[in-house]
Amino acid sequence: MYVHADMQGRHVVVTGGKGALGGAVVALLEARGAIVHVPEIATVDLSREADAAAYYAGLPPLWASIQLAGGFAMAKLTETSLADFEHQWRTNTVTCFLACREAVRSMRRAAGGGRIVNVTARPVLVPAAGMAAYTAAKAGVAALTQALAVELAADHILVNAVVPSVIDTPVNRASMPEADHAAWPKPAELAETIAFLASPQNALTSGTLVPVYGRA
């Protein structure tokens, strides 16, 4: 059971914080006392090194950074251009890498440890056809998560990733109207797992890819 005060006054970044999942995560963290910072997509391009560095440098020392920013595209291999592949890589992997790097610099300033939570995707663990570029990009996020968990252990910075299936959002419902939406994990449910991994109550878990599939 959470002690909500554990997040009281702690500074947390949530990239992609204006989306369906991001909104649920932000609301939960704020309810538990965290001070949440959400990069504005109109002014901060987290796939650009200068933008990411400037954004994080302008914040107070962080306790946690949660990387939800990303994008999805589906196409057969022979219909995927190099530009398509590179776009998925930059949107998912590069944004995660830069946010993690800058968050670690911020956490080290505070010298009090910290938490990083990333989001990869089920096709990384359970491959699916027609998603080569997306799967490769999210696999990069998974590998980065596990590599950082080892590298940052001495700093007491724990690094994990959640691995959702299709999330129950209005956009996903509209694109798959015949699916069993009740089986999909809900943003508020995923937020609970993410909030735990980002909290001081998570004192041991690092380097994990946590499946959060619901019944999907």
User: pLDDT tens-digit profile of 186-210?
Assistant: 999 999 999 999 999 999 999 999 9
> Which residue type sits at 203?
A
Helix (H/G/I), strand (E/B), else coil: 108? helix
Q: How far apart are the first and last CA of the chain?
A: 26
Distances (CA, A) of 16 to 22, 46, 153, 180: 6, 10, 26, 26
What are the catalytic residues? 134
Placement of tokens 């990239």 in the chain: 15
Q: In which residue ranges of the chain is pLDDT below 70?
A: 1-5
Contact yes or no for 172/166 (Cβ under 8 A): yes
pLDDT of residue 3: 46
Contact yes or no for 15/67 (Cβ under 8 A): yes
pTM of the model: 0.94
At 198, list the tokens.
């980002």
Measure the CA–CA gap between 103 and 63, rounded to whole angstroms: 9
Task: Give the CATH number for residue 206.
Answer: 3.40.50.720
pLDDT of residue 5: 65
> What is the crossing angle of helices 95-110 and 132-151, to 10°?
20
Measure the CA–CA gap between 62 and 65, rounded to whole angstroms: 7
Domain membership of residue 88 as a residue range: 4-212
Contact yes or no for 113/157 (Cβ under 8 A): yes
At 180, list the tokens.
């069993």
Q: How many domains does the chain have?
A: 1
pLDDT of residue 215: 81
> Which residue type sits at 171?
V
pLDDT of residue 6: 85
The burial class, CB within 10 Å (0-12 / 13-18 / 19+), for 161 is buried
